[in-house]
Amino acid sequence: MRTQVGIIGAGPAGLLLSHLLHLEGIDSVVLELRDRDYVQRRVRAGVLEQPTVELLRAAGVGTRMDAQGLPHDGISLRFDGADHRIDFAALTGRRITVYGQQEVVKDLIARRLADGGDLRFGVSGVAVHDVGSTRPLISFTDADGSARALDCDAIAGCDGFHGITRDSVPAGALTVHQHTYPFAWLGVLAEAPPSHHELIYTYHPRGFALHSMRSPSVTRLYLQVPPDERIEDWSDRRIWDELHTRLAADGFTLAEGPILEKGVTGMRSFVVAPMRHGRLFLAGDAAHIVPPTGAKGMNLAIADVRRLSLALTALLRSGDERLADGYADACLGRVWRAQHFSWWMTSMLHTFPEHDPFQRELQLAQLRYTATSEPAATSLAENYVGLPYSD
């Protein structure tokens, strides 16, 4: 088999990269370990920055997002038993859109297949070879059991934190930065209408809580828990009782409903540099992880592949290597800004095991300042809605 770009991973990053390359006349093949049904159902992020929304529209895959997505002009910081709204529209003139990652994936799969894209689900045994050459190779077993070799000009590792591409880089070629937080998030998806029209980020002495949503009938809710918490220890009733306690505020009623999914996710920050080795380019979670507090994960992945599509187009169309050579540094500037914002939001809103009353008062002081100072609120708002892309 032969293609210009072999893409490993059919999440938003890999699929959007394939589509953007197609728009520039660059061929690609997308390989995915899971089957199509699983990929289209897995629930992940749901907040799209304005630059992400604008990119999806410009790429011709925003029609369903515009029809079904939920535009939000702000968020609430809930502390001291009350809401303190951060008005994105007034402070920045921009907004976010709540639209599930699985919906973005559905849109991209449908478009790639309609355009004749080669998407291969259910593959196994994926390995990359000769990435230091100008003709790297991907070996894999197709869903029908056939052994394949895919000859490429470049390989994009869009296969997530647990994928194979990052580990294929020789030892010592990447610098790893990581930090683990002393808590996790217990997340639930509930068949219940949202209890508020926007996201609520809550600071509570018992721990952080977040009220979010995926649609007018499905709510996404999170609780801060210890990092080793067992989901088996949390009955549905216990989850709802704790959410009622932490989200309590005057005039607020939390709507309950059947819990469709629940799980515990650890909180970490992770960055590798330089996000490239030879003709292997890393993007999205394969190169960096942020705590979900700042809603940056999928947005960073999309920013990565936007830049990677430009770099690969220049490289493969005219042999111009400048954008490819600058890919990692350019992406990492945005990544580290998002890491700092996510760390700041996490540090301000979560209770830490080692915090004494003095440190908790410092958190409240920061929250009160952010909620009442226009410059401080503007800094939060412009980071949350997404900084403009730079070239």
Mention every residue, 6+ apart, whose C-beta is less than 8 A from residue 204: 79, 245, 246, 351
What is the length of the chain?
391
**Percentage of the chain with pLDDT > 70?**
100
What domains lie within the chain, and their CATH numbers?
A: 5-70+99-177+268-345 (3.50.50.60), 179-267+352-385 (3.30.9.10)
**Percentage of the chain with pLDDT > 90?**
94
In this prediction, residue 43 carries a pLDDT of 73
- Where b means 16+ CB within 10 Å and e means fewer, 93-104 reads ebbbbbbbbbbb
* 292 catalytic per annotation: yes
* 201 catalytic per annotation: yes
In the set 51, 136, 194, 292, the catalytic residue is 292
171-177 long-range contacts, CB within 8 A, separation 24+: 173/277, 174/272, 174/273, 174/274, 174/277, 175/272, 175/273, 175/274, 176/270, 176/271, 176/272, 177/269, 177/270, 177/271, 177/272, 177/273
In the set 99, 181, 203, 384, the catalytic residue is 384
* Confidence class for position 195, pLDDT limits 50, 70, 90: very high
In this prediction, residue 223 carries a pLDDT of 98
In the set 19, 22, 72, 204, the catalytic residue is 72
* Confidence class for position 41, pLDDT limits 50, 70, 90: confident
Mention every residue, 6+ apart, whose C-beta is less than 8 A from residue 313: 21, 24, 26
In the set 99, 181, 201, 327, the catalytic residue is 201
DSSP, residue by residue, 148-162: EEEE-SEEEE-S-TT
In the set 196, 204, 296, 350, the catalytic residue is 296
Q: pLDDT at residue 347 above 90?
A: yes
Closest CA to 17 of 68, 55, 67, 65: 55
Segment 259-283 shows an average pLDDT of 96
In this prediction, residue 46 carries a pLDDT of 87
Sign of the dihedral defined by the CA atoms of residues 156, 162, 168, 169, in that order: positive
For 123-139, write each residue's pLDDT tens digit.
Answer: 999 999 999 899 999 99
In this prediction, residue 45 carries a pLDDT of 76
* 38 catalytic per annotation: no
Separation of alpha carbons 168 and 166, rounded Å: 5
* Confidence class for position 44, pLDDT limits 50, 70, 90: confident
In this prediction, residue 81 carries a pLDDT of 87
* 384 catalytic per annotation: yes
Average pLDDT, the chain: 96
For 67-124, write each residue's pLDDT tens digit.
Answer: 999 999 999 999 998 999 999 999 999 999 999 999 999 999 999 999 999 999 999 9
In this prediction, residue 308 carries a pLDDT of 98
In this prediction, residue 351 carries a pLDDT of 94
Sign of the dihedral defined by the CA atoms of residues 179, 345, 42, 386, in that order: negative
For 352-374, write each residue's pLDDT tens digit.
Answer: 987 788 989 999 999 999 999 99
How much is the pTM?
Answer: 0.95
| Residues β-bridged to residue 371 | none
In this prediction, residue 144 carries a pLDDT of 95
